[in-house]
Amino acid sequence: KNEVEQSPQNLTAQEGEFITINCSYSVGISALHWLQQHPGGGIVSLFMLSSGKKKHGRLIATINIQEKHSSLHITASHPRDSAVYICAVAGNQFYFGTGTSLTVIP
């Protein structure tokens, strides 16, 4: 069983739609990260969370420590948001989720 589970695996949305990606984890953590990776590219850190909610532009990340669950929301999605979004948790080591591949269609 993977320590970090993400859903959905693949997501296609129309431009302008509100998008939610979910992440559940089973290990004790000190922080949860949301990462973005464009095709063939390196990884960009979007958020690091240990509680509550963070917002950056059109991106919002929330975490519920008791439920071991986090969500990444994208408001007013745009084709340039198309990428793989990876949830990762820092426990006694760094665990990656399998990623959510997002395609936003104009």
Cβ at position 90, least distance to other proteins in Å: 4
Of 44 and 105, the one with the shorter C-beta distance to other proteins is 44
Of 17 and 96, the one with the shorter C-beta distance to other proteins is 96
Of 38 and 78, the one with the shorter C-beta distance to other proteins is 38
Positions in the binding site for other proteins (CB under 8 A): 30-31, 33, 35, 40-45, 48, 86, 88, 90, 93-94, 96-99, 101
CB-based burial, 24-55: b 16+ in 10 Å, e otherwise = bbeeebeebbbbbeeeeeeeeebbebeeeeee
